[in-house]
Amino acid sequence: MQNDIALSYRDLACSSLLLWANAALSVRLSLGVERRLLWSGVRMVLQLSLMGWVLALLFAWISPWATGLAALGMVGFAGFETVARQPRRLAGWWAYGLGTGAMLMAAALVTLFALLGALRPDPWYDPRYAIPLLGMILGNTMTGVGLGLNALSNGLVNRQAAVEARLMLGFDRRAALAPVMRDALVSAMMPIINTMSAAGVVALPGMMTGQILGGVPPAQAVKYQILILFLIAGGTGLGSLAAVLGGVYRLTDARHRLRLDRLSRLR
Amino acid sequence: MTAPAPGQSGLQVRGLRRHGLQPLSFDLGPGEAMAVTGPSGAGKSLLLRALADLDPNQGQVSLDGVSRSQIPAPHWRRQVAYLPAEPGWWGESVGEHFHDWSAALPLLQRLGLAADADAWPMQRPSTGERLRLALVRALLQSPRVLLLDEPTAALDAAAVRAVEALIADCLHQGMSVLWVSHDPAQAARVARRQLVGGQGRFFESPS
């Protein structure tokens, strides 16, 4: 790699001043967000450092089992994060199971698709490709799944009368919930649609920026970014579709009733 | 075709119960109306929702001798139509909620609603107009049983008379009606039988 600038811990400490400044603003304007801001910053630093260490280990081992285990761990954490971001959750085991299952299915399919299709590293489970790819796909799929499930449960609660009016007129559950389901899927897909629309014109996506800063020629970085955005779009679409369809299934029953009693109470 | 055996035609309810509703049994023949009265919280709406199978419930409910459990729920709800006290609307305009506006026109005009109301945005109709629109929407499905939850609560005297006359015609044509009303005079006017409830327990009051 040519002329890449190695970062020191002092450089990082310096740039963290921006986060402190934000926290100070939050205190000054009594926004009350300072603790969450700083805590998320601390988490980010710890988690990424841990990931750096894990990646170094995985790169040294190149074992399908270790890579698979790390991937499963990432999906598990994504499931927890999705639940934590939901004010209205499905009651019981479903809250965690639905989002996690949808993400596991979507991220695994799309990552394997990229590894076996476009990238073909040797061996195909080489963690240098598999784990970062999965991370990019999973992070965005998580956002989509979370937004979709939120929009679904909020939509059903707020539009209960409208949905039940359709049920009472003899619509089946899929048809009765279709407008809410459509809005949930649109809201799940909105971030990736916006990202793709603005990519290159307004925003340089993070991965491409990282590669360019790391010394990769722009043309190469652009190709990787395009691949990644396609994968993210696919993962988000699949994952949020599975999660929203699962949510529709769980929030209705075989007698075509709306079952809001299967949502836990608003926190 | 043989006529249904006596006691087999109309709505038959045996041991209907759900959360907030004690077991309840009654029969409602074709062309028969029964008023449902009781204080707020008596479970009147819970009863109607259970009959429409909108909430989980237990017990035997059948129509013309056919058990509800043998009929797909959407089909059941087209035959046993429920009009809630606050009907729901999903579209932007009034017309979106009707399959066939021209078929609705005679009923709408009978209830004093404007013939061009299909173009109205959904914010425009008043509470009383919405209730009447929802009644027409439900009647267009030609249900066998109509479950009415305070259908005249927000209406002026003329509109109340129009709704009562329309429902009386439906009864003449053989529809069965369960009519929740908080007004004892109306209950006596629209139905000969009466279910009186309190705290989830209903019984038929001798008239």
Question: Tell me: the pLDDT tens digits for B135-152?
Answer: 999 999 999 999 999 999
Q: Do A148 and A87 belong to one domain?
A: yes
Q: Is the residue at A267 inside a domain?
A: no
Query: Cis peptide leading into A123, omega within 30 of 0?
Result: yes
pLDDT at residue A47, rounded to an integer? 95
| pLDDT reading at B197 higher than 80 | yes
Rounded-to-integer distance, Cα A153 and Cα B107, Å: 36
Which stretch of A4-8, B53-57, B79-83 has the lowest confidence by average pLDDT? A4-8
Is A129 inside a domain boundary? yes
Q: Please name which of B97, B96, B66 lies closest in space to residue B79, comparing C-alpha atoms.
A: B66
Q: How far apart are CA A70 and CA A55, in angstroms?
A: 9
Structure confidence at residue A207 (pLDDT): 87
The total number of residues shown for chain B amounts to: 207
- Please say whether the beta carbons of B177 and B195 come within 8 A: no
pLDDT at A63: 93
As beta bridge partners, residue B11 has: B28, B63
The per-residue pLDDT for B7 is 52
d(CA A86, CA A91): 12
CA distance A262 to chain B (A): 12
Q: Is 70 exceeded by the pLDDT of residue A137?
A: yes
CA–CA gap between residue B61 and residue B165 (Å, rounded) = 28
Distance of alpha carbon A240 from alpha carbon A189, whole angstroms: 8
Domain that holds residue A242: 62-262
Does residue A161 share a domain with residue A113?
yes
Point out the residue among B56, B73, B88 whose CB comes nearest to the CB of A165.
Answer: B88
Boundary-marking domain end, from A60, A82, A111: A60
Neighbours of A64 (CB within 10 A): 14
Pair of tokens at residue B135: 């009644």
Q: Are residues A191 and A81 in the same domain?
A: yes
Q: Is the ipTM of this complex over 0.85?
A: yes
Residue B115, helix vs strand vs coil: coil
A150 and A229 belong to one structural domain: yes
**What is the average pLDDT across A138-154?**
96
Residues A162 and A42 in one domain: no
CB contact under 8 A, B88 and A164: yes
Per-residue pLDDT at A4 exceeds 90: no
Q: Which residues pair with B60 in a beta bridge?
A: B14
Inter-chain contact B88–A255, Cβ cutoff 8 Å?
no
Is the pLDDT score of B55 beyond 60?
yes
How many domains does chain A divide into?
2
Closest C-alpha among B49, B57, B52, B61 to residue B25: B61
Residues A102, A42 share a domain: no
Residue B69 has pLDDT above 50, yes or no: yes
pLDDT for the residue A7: 87
User: pLDDT confidence of B1, banded at 50, 70, 90?
Assistant: very low
Alpha-carbon distance of B198 to B37, in angstroms, equals 9
Q: Tell me how far apart the terminal alpha carbons of chain A are, to the nearest angstrom.
A: 50
The confidence band for A5, taking pLDDT boundaries of 50, 70 and 90, is confident
Amino acid at A253: D
Same domain, A47 and A67: no
- Chain A positions touching B97 (Cβ under 8 A) are 165
pTM for the full model? 0.90
How close B79 gets to chain A, by Cα (Å)?
Answer: 9
Chain B CB contacts of A255 below 8 Å: 53, 73
Architecture of domain B11-205: 3-Layer(aba) Sandwich (3.40)
At A204, the pLDDT band (50, 70, 90 cuts) reads: confident
Q: Which of A185-189, A263-267, B74-78 has the lowest mean pLDDT?
A: A263-267
Cα–Cα distance, B2 to A212 (Å, whole number): 84
Does residue A6 register a pLDDT over 90?
no
The Cα A196–Cα A210 span in angstroms is 18
Q: Are residues A198 and A221 in the same domain?
A: yes
Average pLDDT for chain A: 94
- Higher pLDDT: B7 or B13? It is B13
Q: Report pLDDT digits (tens) over A250-264.
A: 999 999 999 999 998
Torsion of CA A79, A82, A88, A94, to 10 degrees: -20
Answer yes or no: is A109 within a domain: yes
Note whether residue A26 is domain-resident: yes
Percent of all residues in chain B with a pLDDT value above 90, rounded to a whole number: 91
The kind and range of the H/E element at B13 are strand B11-18
Could you tell me if A164 and A214 lie in one domain?
yes
pLDDT digits (tens, 9 = 90+) for A90-128: 999 999 999 999 999 999 999 999 999 999 999 999 999
Which residues of chain A have a CB within 8 Å of the CB of B149? none
Average pLDDT over residues B36-44: 93
Query: How confident is residue A1, by pLDDT bands cut at 50, 70 and 90?
Result: very low
pLDDT given at position B178: 97
Residue B207 has a pLDDT of 61
3-class secondary structure, B176: strand
Domain ranges of chain B: 11-205
Question: What is the per-residue pLDDT across A23-76, written as a single tens digit (0 to 9) for each?
Answer: 999 999 999 999 999 999 999 999 999 999 999 999 999 999 999 999 999 999
* SS3 label, residue B7: coil
Residues of chain B whose beta carbon is less than 8 angstroms from a beta carbon of chain A are 52-56, 72-75, 77-78, 81-82, 84, 86-90, 97, 134, 137-138, 141
The proportion of chain B whose per-residue pLDDT surpasses 70, expressed as a percent, equals: 96
Please name which of A40, A27, A151 lies closest in space to residue A88, comparing C-alpha atoms.
A151
CA B123 – CA B117 distance, rounded (Å): 12
Residue A183 CA to residue B88 CA, distance in Å, equals 18
